[in-house]
Amino acid sequence: MQDNVRPESMERITTPALAEAFISEQIGALRAQIGGDKVLLALSGGVDSSVVAALLIRAVGKQLVCVHVNHGLLRKGEPEQVIRVFRDEMDANLIYVDAVDRFLDKLAGVADPEQKRKIIGKEFIDVFAEEAARLDGIRFLAQGTIYPDILESGPVKSHHNVGGLPEELNFELVEPIKLLFKDEVRVVGKALGLPDSMVYRQPFPGPGLGVRCTGAITRDRLEALRESDAILREEFEKNGLAGKVWQYFTIVPDYKSTGVIDGKRSFDWPVVIRAVNTRDAMTAEIEEIPYPLLHHITRRITSEVRGVNRVLYDLTPKPTGTIEWE
Ligand code: XMP
């Protein structure tokens, strides 16, 4: 496991010049490892898999086959961005799999959070393995493993992160960023020309919006979650909070309350806003959001999102609340 240990002499990649040096070195190493063979990558659109994709596109071009699985639990605009950046701009060999119905059908009526996570994880591996089986001549599997994954878990991030290694797939691994820390991955991503919205993306759990649409997921409540999350992100970006707050998102719990909309009684969902700062996700503090902005976001969500009549602000630090609601 020697090559899983970061050498003391390895300089921290903090500048574009150091990133360029890393990129050239990796391109050489990847070409030497891969030769003329094909490489498969599960491309979620998160920073790690995106950086690995961009590196491999530079190194071996169309020998890389990226598979982007849309499980229906991604944020608004994410699948479109993956297609635009990788297929349209980088000319990657990208297979887009619309598995939305398949995931949502499997999740229908399932309220237990652990059960939901298991279904999402298993289904993801099944979909990915099916796509892999359709392809001929794949020898390698690329992964966005980074150094903290090695330090924390030994082998590979798979259980906590949808998009992890489908273990039954018997490929040789390609892990070009496995000795990098997250901040270095971002510097490299920037040097590779990835958009800031990908490079500086806030953490997003593998099961995605599934853990924020609490209880049994329904399509209409998931839609309310996706739309309210998009409004929150837009307003945080416009108001300079996107770089200041570590993680911010909405939750739509599985219950309704009475309200009044256009002079008529309504019985609709609340949207909960969660915005936290943390160093390591083990504990978290509440970021103070200016009241006028909270009022503005509340007005937008209640007028623009169907099926919502209230907005709540979660003031709970971790502990006692976890960052996610499930
Ligand atoms: P909690 O909710 O445990 O979250 O305070 C801590 C951090 O981990 C993320 N998280 C997950 N990430 N798969 C992931 O890849 C998961 O199942 C999962 N659950 C929580 C969460 O978004 C936060 O950043």
The 3-state secondary structure of 242-297 reads CCCCCEEEEEECCCCEEEEECCEEEEEEEEEEEEEECCCCCCEEECCCCHHHHHHH
Q: What is the model's pLDDT at position 287?
A: 84
Ligand 1 neighbour 324 (Cβ under 6 A): yes
Ligand 1 neighbour 318 (Cβ under 6 A): yes
Residue whose tokens read 């995106």: 50
- Mean pLDDT over 258-268 rounds to 96
Q: What is the model's pLDDT at position 163?
A: 47
State which ligand 1 atom lies nearest to the alpha carbon of 284.
Answer: 5
For residue 84, report the distance from its CA to the centre of ligand 1, in Å. Answer: 27
For residue 92, report the distance from its CA to the centre of ligand 1, in Å. Answer: 30
Q: What is the pLDDT of residues 166-215, one digit of tens each?
A: 566 789 999 999 999 999 999 999 999 999 999 999 999 999 999 999 99
- pLDDT greater than 80 at residue 158: no
Backbone angles phi, psi at 151, to 5 degrees: -65, -40
Ligand 1 neighbour 276 (Cβ under 6 A): no
Q: What is the model's pLDDT at position 48?
A: 98
For residue 265, report the distance from its CA to the centre of ligand 1, in Å. Answer: 37
- Domain parsing of the chain, residue ranges: 16-199, 208-313
For residue 324, report the distance from its CA to the centre of ligand 1, in Å. Answer: 6
Kindly indicate the confidence band of residue 155, based on its pLDDT and cuts at 50, 70 and 90.
very low
Distance CA(301)–CA(26), nearest Å, equals: 45
Nearest to 317 by CA among 277, 280, 273: 277
State which ligand 1 atom lies nearest to the alpha carbon of 321.
Answer: 5
* CATH architecture of the domain formed by 208-313: 2-Layer Sandwich (3.30)
Q: What is the model's pLDDT at position 153?
A: 74
Distance CA(29)–CA(117), nearest Å, equals: 36
Q: Where are the alpha helices (DSSP H) in 72-137?
A: 78-82, 100-107, 113-134
Q: What is the pLDDT of residues 124-144, one digit of tens each?
A: 999 999 999 999 999 999 999
Q: What is the model's pLDDT at position 160?
A: 46
> Residue with the nearest Cα to atom 18 of ligand 1?
205
Ligand 1 neighbour 281 (Cβ under 6 A): yes
Q: What is the model's pLDDT at position 156?
A: 41
The best mutation among 117, 285, 323, 326 to test binding of ligand 1, ranked by most ligand atoms within 8 Å of the C-beta, falls on 323
Ligand 1 neighbour 117 (Cβ under 6 A): yes
- pLDDT greater than 50 at residue 1: no
- Mean pLDDT over 150-154 rounds to 80
For residue 61, report the distance from its CA to the centre of ligand 1, in Å. Answer: 33
For residue 192, report the distance from its CA to the centre of ligand 1, in Å. Answer: 27
The best mutation among 112, 250, 274, 324 to test binding of ligand 1, ranked by most ligand atoms within 8 Å of the C-beta, falls on 324
Whole-angstrom Cα Rg for the chain = 21
Q: What is the model's pLDDT at position 141?
A: 97
> Residue with the nearest Cα to atom 14 of ligand 1?
205
> Residue with the nearest Cα to atom 20 of ligand 1?
205
> Residue with the nearest Cα to atom 9 of ligand 1?
205
* CATH architecture of the domain formed by 16-199: 3-Layer(aba) Sandwich (3.40)
